[in-house]
Amino acid sequence: MVSVNIDKDPHFRRIIVNEDKCTKCQLCIPSCPSAAFSDLNLFTYEADLCFGCSNCLEYCPYDALDFENWSASNPLELNRLFLLGASAFEIHLGSDLEALENFYLKLNLNSVKLESFSIGSEKMTDDELAESAIFIVNMTREQANFKDRLIIIQCDGIPQSGARLSNNSAKDLKSIHNADLVLKTLKKNNLLLPNIFVQIAGGIDDKSLAKAHALGVEIHGVAIGSWLRKKILELDMAEAKGLCKKIINQSKANAKKTETQKLKIASSSKNLAVQK
Ligand code: SF4
Ligand code: SF4
C-alpha cells in the first residue's frame, strides 16, 4: 500500500527540533509513542521515527518543536511504483476535489487492485464529507475495470490521537459519526456498490468496530494506528512478532470473508437483474 498526499494532511508531517530554542531538558522524551526522542548519551531526535501524532508539542516548555509538512505527492511517481509492483494506494485528501480529480486522472490503474480514499479531517463539514464520498464513487466508477478493484472510503476522525487520548473512550466517535454520514449518503444515492467499503480511522482501538456496529453503523472495517503502535511498544520482540502474525492471519481471514460476501452480493444483484 502506497500512501499519497493531495492536501495538507497530518499523516504527512513530522517534527523538527529548533536547535536554537531546545535546551535539551528531555521533557519531551516520554511523550513520543515511537521513541523518536532519546537520551542514550545526549538528547537526540530521529526524524524518520516521527509519524506526526503531535503528542510531544505540549510537553516542550521552550516552544522548540514544530511541524514541517511534506509537499503534495506526484501522480507520476505513484505510476512508477505501480510498474515496480505496487497494487494498492491510499490517497489522503482534503476538501479540494478538483485537486483529487486532477491527481487521480493521471494514474495508470491497470494493475491496481485496491484504492483507499481518506476523508473527514477535523476541518471538513458534514456537507463536504457527503459531497466527497459521492465524488469519489462517481470518479472511480467511470474508470475502466472499476468492478475489479476494491474501493475503500476511510472516514477519519481525530487524526492520529489514539496514543494521546488512550484513556478517552469517546475518541473514536467522530470517525464513527463520519462513517455513518458517508454510509447513509451513499445508500441514499444508490452508490454503496458491491466493491465499495467504508472503514474508520482516527482514535481507533480494539473495541471500535463493535462500538460502531452497536450504534447501528455498519462499517466494513477499521484502520488502527497509534493505539496498536503503543501496544506493540509495550511488548518484547517475541510477543510483538506473535501479535503481528495474529493480526495478519485475522486480516487474511477477514479479507476472505469479505471476498465471499462480495461474490454473494454480486451474484444476487445479477439474479435480480435477470428476474427483472
Ligand atoms: S510525539 Fe508524535 S509528533 Fe512528536 S516526535 Fe513523536 S511521533 Fe513525532
Ligand atoms: S522538551 Fe523541548 S527543549 Fe526540552 S529537549 Fe524536548 S525539544 Fe528540547
Tell me the CATH number at 25.
3.30.70.20
Same domain, 13 and 80: no
Write down the pLDDT at residue 264: 60
Q: Which atom of ligand 1 is nearest the CA belonging to 65?
A: 4
**207 and 174 together in one domain:** yes
Q: For residue 25, report the distance from its CA to the centre of ligand 2, in Å.
A: 5
Quick check: CB of 64 below 6 Å from ligand 1? no
Separation of CA 36 and ligand 1 centre (Å): 7
Along the 276 residues of the chain, how does pLDDT read in single tens digits? 898 888 766 677 889 999 999 999 999 999 988 889 998 778 999 998 898 888 899 999 999 999 988 777 899 999 999 999 999 999 988 788 999 999 999 999 999 999 999 998 667 889 999 999 999 999 999 999 999 999 999 998 875 554 454 455 667 888 999 999 999 999 999 999 999 999 998 888 888 999 999 999 999 999 887 778 778 878 888 888 888 888 888 878 877 776 666 556 555 544 444 444
Closest ligand 2 atom to the C-alpha of 17?
7
The verdict on residue 263 lying in a domain is yes
194 with 162, same domain: the answer is yes
| Ligand 2 pocket, residues with Cβ under 6 angstroms | 17, 22-28, 43, 59-60, 62, 64-65
What are the start-end ranges of the E strands in 26-93? 37-38, 44-45, 65-69, 88-92
| Residue 38, helix vs strand vs coil | strand
Are residues 174 and 43 part of one domain?
no
Ligand nearest to the CA of 65: 2
Question: What pLDDT is attached to residue 273?
Answer: 43
Q: Are residues 24 and 142 in the same domain?
A: no
As for how many domains the chain has, the answer is 3
Tell whether ligand 1 has an atom less than 6 A from the beta carbon of residue 32: yes
The whole-model pTM stands at 0.76
Residue 2 falls inside a structural domain:
no
The answer to whether position 212 is within a domain reads: yes
Domain identity same for 24 and 134: no
3-class state of residue 51 by DSSP: coil
Which residue range is the domain that position 55 belongs to? Answer: 9-69
What pLDDT score does 259 carry? Answer: 66
Which tens digits make up the pLDDT trace of 88-113? Answer: 999 988 788 999 999 999 999 999 99
User: Is residue 3 included in any domain, yes or no?
Assistant: no
Cα(56)–Cα(179) distance, integer angstroms: 29
What confidence score (pLDDT) does residue 104 get? Answer: 95
56: nearest Cα among 31, 25, 36, 24: 31
C-alpha cell at 166: 488512550
Q: Are residues 83 and 208 in the same domain?
A: yes
- Do 81 and 173 lie in one domain? The reply is yes
Task: Give the C-alpha separation, 57 to 141, whole Å.
Answer: 42
Residue 205 falls inside a structural domain: yes
The pLDDT of residue 272: 44
Do 78 and 167 lie in a common domain?
yes
Residue 103 and residue 122 in one domain:
yes
Q: Among 46, 69, 92, give the residue marking a domain's end.
A: 69
Q: What is the CATH number of the domain that holds 173?
A: 3.20.20
Q: State whether 186 and 61 are in the same domain.
A: no
* Cell 510531544 belongs to residue: 56
> Distance, CA 156 to ligand 1 centroid (Å)?
19
Shared domain for 173 and 275, answered yes or no, is: no
Give how far the C-alpha of residue 149 lies from the chain's centroid of Cα atoms, to the nearest Å: 18
